[in-house]
Amino acid sequence: MSRNQESKMKILSTASTLFQKQGYHATGLNQIIKESGCPKGSLYYYFPEGKEQLATEAINRTKDFAAQELRNLFSQHDDVINALECFFGQCLSFNPKIAHDGIPLALISLETWHMSEQLRLACKNAYEELIMIVREKFIQSNWPPEEATEMAYLVFSMIEGGSIFVLTYKSNESLKRICKSIIELIKLKQKEIRRNLRNEL
């Protein structure tokens, strides 16, 4: 990676951490410049449209990383339940007391949807890509496309909602209960789907 690319990545990483830790509105460009240690000119060179562009690229960076991690994880499991149990295990290892290099989509979406169409669409696109990865895993486990789509949306809705509880309570206990309930629901639905498939044979 070139020095110029390293500067851009450092600015993105710093901005992502600050957006997560203190929110989009409370994070200023001067703070990002100071904490990244990069020259002011570097920020405006790579992000000439300012904070909105920086946040958009931070969301896209988080999406790309999360999508690749999810694909890699799912490729290690044949059954969607095993894949999701592993995914939930990773979610539960998140330490809510530490600022990470990434933006929880629910948080920045709730904060900015009404004031930035660009950020709203970036969050929407990120959700859609991640949801489609989960949907495809359900389909690989012989779920009908419609049921796979509905369950993928439900999984992400509950996980994103759970992330708000995690940060509010500074504890993973609520997310642990949510993950347990999701797996129980999926197991019941999968039994029903397999029973229906047997009946059709």
CA dihedral for 65, 103, 147, 188, sign (positive or negative): positive
Q: At what angle do helices 117-140 and 145-169 cross, to 10 degrees?
A: 120
| Cα angle 166, 87, 77; round to 5 | 170
pLDDT > 70? residue 3: no
Tokens read off for 157? 């809705």
Residue of 73, 71, 58 lying closest to 129 (CA atoms): 71
Confidence tier at 132 by pLDDT (50, 70, 90): very high
Q: What pLDDT, in 10s, does the model give residues 113-127? A: 899 999 999 999 999
CA distance 35 to 14: 7
- With vertex at residue 172, the alpha carbon angle to CA 170 and CA 174, rounded to the nearest 5 degrees, is 105
Q: What are the tens digits of pLDDT across the range 46-64?
A: 999 999 999 999 999 989 9
pLDDT at 99: 53
Half-sphere exposure (Cβ direction) of 80: Cα atoms closer than 13 Å = 24
pTM (predicted TM-score): 0.88
Q: Name the band, by pLDDT with cuts 50, 70 and 90, for residue 92.
A: confident
Rounded mean pLDDT of the chain?
Answer: 90
155 near 84, Cβ under 8 Å? yes
**Distances from the Cα of 91 to the Cαs of 115, 126, 146, 154, 163, in angstroms?**
29, 17, 26, 16, 9
Which pLDDT does position 17 carry in this prediction? 87
Provide the CA 135 distance to its chain's centre, in angstroms. Answer: 15
